[in-house]
Amino acid sequence: MNRLVLLNKPFGVLSQFTGGKGGGARDTLAHLIDLPGVYPAGRLDKDSEGLLLLTDDGKLQARIAEPRHKMPKTYLAQVEGIPEESALARLRTGVMLNDGMTRPAKVEAIVAPRLWERDPPIRFRKNVPDSWISLTITEGRNRQVRRMTAAVGHPTLRLVRWQVGDWTVEGLGPGEWREIQVR
């Protein structure tokens, strides 16, 4: 049996075990999880939160992380403004970024989800409304969701990866993890 760890990566933590500020482990995975032999299957940038999968199986790691396998990844994004249907339609058909056209995404406007508090909190702006969307992509370019929402005029304020394939972060608080067995 292979190991698969579902971790709710907090905001401000790097998706790696070494290389934090000044060589310290406080802003890396090392201070959250002590399981020898598991490694992240993909990345989640320091400014993003939510589901990060770790495994000890190279084939499973590749199936999760490599874009050619098109494993769906669902994000909950708090965006600046309230996207009109035309902006959501652009995300659904693909957006031109500086590194090419994205694959079509599944997108819908959602009510604000009940999530854990973020530390530090999102900056509140009295004169600029915000809203939430759910966005599912099947590729994983660097900061892709943030770049996509910015391209349609709604920069991301908070980004939470909620699901990868069939695995979700549901029930895990920031920094919490659970291990499951996979074949």
Give the predicted TM-score (pTM) of the model.
Answer: 0.93
Q: What is the mean pLDDT of residues 27-36?
A: 89
Q: Which of 27, 34, 45, 130 is catalytic?
A: 45
Domains belonging to the chain, first-starting first, are 2-67+166-182 (3.30.70.580), 72-164 (3.30.70.1560)
C-alpha span between 73 and 162 (Å, rounded): 8
pLDDT single digits (tens) 130-175: 999 999 999 988 899 999 999 999 999 999 999 999 999 999 999 9
**85: part of which helix (H) or strand (E)?**
helix 85-93
Strands (E), 39-140: 39-40, 49-55, 73-80, 96-97, 100-101, 106-110, 130-137
pLDDT single digits (tens) 21-31: 655 556 899 88
**86, exposed or middle or buried, with CB in 10 Å at 0-12, 13-18, 19+?**
exposed
Q: Any catalytic annotation for residue 45?
A: yes
